[in-house]
Chains A and B, each alone.
Chain A
């Protein structure tokens, strides 16, 4: 769709979006910009920054295996992480207010 837009073909954009009034589009853009600078967005940026630092500066999996020492602490950490992964499979969905 993006390729089409760049080539001047807007047929991929939904009719509902095209039908939006300028006020709605302005509202959407303002909301998007404010969301990009919100506290929630900041948390995501921090996460990305931490991941980047970890990626560049910390040992990768292969390097870690070389220095890995199986002990009771790593056993507990492994079990807790496995457990956290398991309970994260199921969640509760929340709907977005779009009508009432």
Chain B
């Protein structure tokens, strides 16, 4: 039994001591690399991409950035570095919009002026989003700025304690090495199959509505999205080579558009987007929607959009070989072929 005065003062002192201890550990170990590069001998576990990406961009040694949605998450930076002779980092941000990717790249270029190469995905479902569209998630802005005051959100944070420090501690106990950028955000170990892919797919009923049109309003939205978030950024950085690519969503993505009568409109969007990109000197556009064998084989997927790591490997290989590039001269013909393929595909055969 102690007096209430002693109890109150003791509780406050213990609380303050605990808070300072947690802040010190987080600051020193710095699991999201906000203050310093990874320390030798600490097997960091990088779990939350929204939180870790900025630290990687700030602290790692690189001259190439791979940025985008989960369409890049299984890219192996070691393969990229070997084939394209780079030192790359991967900044995956699931479902991120072109606007968010631009912001991420702008921050990255400010952190590291020696970047000379970028790979970014241009997801088909993102082409016609507003130019300032963001995801329905609150980003940890306190990690993206240099305001020391709001770092309190990082230093005293339950998730950082449990996931950042906790998983790193588990790695340490298990004698593991630091997670590599190949492993970071990767889900290569997840099983892919036609059965799994179809189990996640809800097929819309065929619509009786008229074919959707690519309106003037749509055109303006696509124009602003692509110009502001892709083309202007490339123009501002003529010293940087941008490899952009249309990812190979599965045939189910096209089936959905076909069922709701929007497939022709989608190809109008793709063609218009391509016309905005192919004239840029430092943008190379890869059309992996033309990987027809890949797209049609649902064993490569785990749902309508997410392909296996082997497909990422294949795309990097094609980038290295310079295949599937759309140019001013060939894009109309190539996209017309793609449109022909997808418009005439026997979609019902997927479900028999």
Contacts and interface: CB of A to CB of B under 8 A. Distances in A.
A88 B22 contact: no
Interface in B122-146: 123, 125-126, 135-140
Most chain B CB inside 10 Å of its own CB: which residue of A90, A92, A96: A92
A23 B202 contact: yes
Contacts of B163: 92
B169 to A, nearest CB: 16
A83 B205 contact: no
B351 interface: no
A25 to B, nearest CB: 10
Interface stretch (A8-16, A44-52, A53-61, A65-73): A65-73
Contacts of B156: 86-87, 89-90
Interface in B265-279: none
Query: Which one of A22, A71, A80, A91 has the greatest number of beta carbons of chain B within 10 Å?
Result: A91
Grouping DSSP codes into helix (H, G, I), strand (E, B) and loop, the A interface class, with mixed when no group exceeds half, is helix
A23 B205 contact: yes
A70 B15 contact: no
A36 B202 CA distance: 20
Contacts of A93: 50, 137-140
Contact of A90 (B50, B123, B153): B153
Contacts of A91: 157-159
A21 B71 contact: no
A85 to B, nearest CB: 10
B2 A98 contact: no
B14 A75 contact: yes
A26 B139 CA distance: 32
B230 to A, nearest CB: 18
Contacts of B305: 100
Contacts of B158: 84, 87-88, 90-91
Interface string A1-37: 0000000000000000000011110110000000000
A100 B71 contact: yes
A79 interface: yes
Contact of A86 (B19, B160, B204): B19
Contact of A92 (B22, B51, B123): B51
Q: Which 9 A-B pairs have the closest CB atoms?
A: A95-B137, A79-B14, A70-B7, A92-B159, A90-B153, A90-B157, A87-B158, A78-B11, A83-B18
8 contacts: A23-B204, A23-B205, A24-B202, A92-B163, A93-B138, A94-B48, A96-B136, A100-B306
